[in-house]
Amino acid sequence: MLRIDGLTKRYKTGDQALKNVSFEISGGQVVGLIGPSGAGKSTLIRCVNKLVEPTSGSISLNNREISSASGGELRRIRRRIGMIFQEYALVERLTVMENVLSGRLGYVPFWRSYLRRFPQADVDKAFMLLERVGLSTHADKRADALSGGQRQRVGIARALEQDPELLLVDEPTASLDPKTSRQIMRLILEICRERSLPAVINIHDVELARMFVDRIIGLRAGEIVFDAAPAKLDNAA
Ligand code: ADP
Ligand code: ADP
């Protein structure tokens, strides 16, 4: 479970990006984060993966405090947060399998020979994940030979390779056509259900959010202005 309590972020520039934001997400629940540009969505996601230091408030994942963690403890927590990106962030000249294995390290290695020394158990798991996302026949292809939808499937498998306890997803379909976008959103939703994983998806497309998330949190000027099932969105607007 992800728990955010009284989260506030004021940047050095004086921008108040988050104001006393609190919510909880349980396992298997997929939350879509919506709101106009500048509302604080990226800042919220960056606070959770600790790219940004909150001004105050607490964030915990399965009862371990993220906001105060440092050193080895922070690395352990970060390894349990699976990130999925808008532009996939694959290493183009590595194979699909190598890209998935790089999730094991929690960062993308540029040192290819390193990936050849992975334990067989990790390779087997990567293969199973590629099967789950429908890419087992593409394991040896280079990432740059794939379509956008296939790349995002690799991005999802890579996030799962690290056995995440939380998925943070940043505009996963921004570079995809509408049909592929729906397939990717459905896949993310199904996987969160299967693994009882909580997910936060920064999602630009409100219609997609309506179709594929369990709950929508609307941010505006750093505050939560909506937090309910997608069906309630019409009444609020
Ligand atoms: P969103 O992702 O919803 O577009 P952001 O979290 O990027 O919103 O931005 C929220 C507010 O914080 C905006 O006013 C933005 O200008 C400001 N902001 C974001 N990142 C920084 C930064 N690195 N330094 C200073 N201000 C920032
Ligand atoms: P996004 O597509 O997430 O809305 P932006 O264009 O808002 O991205 O921001 C791009 C980068 O600039 C981010 O790293 C963000 O943190 C930073 N940024 C955004 N607003 C500001 C700001 N007011 N001052 C400094 N950096 C900012």
Atom of ligand 2 nearest to the CA of 13: 24
pLDDT value of position 106: 57
Smallest Cα–Cα separation from 17: which of 208, 223, 176, 230?
223
Ligand 2 geometric centre to CA of 218 (Å): 19
- Assess whether the C-beta atom of 17 lies below 6 angstroms from ligand 1: yes
Q: Which tokens is 167 given?
A: 């998925």
> What's the whole-model pTM score?
0.87
Q: ipTM above 0.85?
A: no
pLDDT value of position 104: 79
pLDDT in tens, 127-162: 999 999 999 999 999 999 999 999 999 999 999 999
Q: Which tokens is 215 given?
A: 């709950």
pLDDT value of position 235: 60
Q: Which tokens is 10 given?
A: 């004021």
pLDDT category of residue 115 using cuts at 50, 70 and 90? low
* Type of residue numbered 151: R
pLDDT in tens, 32-65: 999 999 999 999 999 999 999 999 999 999 999 9
pLDDT value of position 16: 95
Q: At what angle do helices 120-132 and 148-161 cross, to 10 degrees?
A: 140
Q: Which tokens is 174 given?
A: 């921004």
Of 8, 11, 86, 225, best ligand 1 pocket probe by most atoms within 8 Å of the beta carbon: 11
Give the 3-state secondary structure of residue 13: coil
Flag whether pLDDT at 113 surpasses 80.
no
pLDDT value of position 119: 84
Residues 6+ apart with CB under 8 A from 148: 88, 175, 176, 177, 180
Ligand 1 geometric centre to CA of 172 (Å): 19
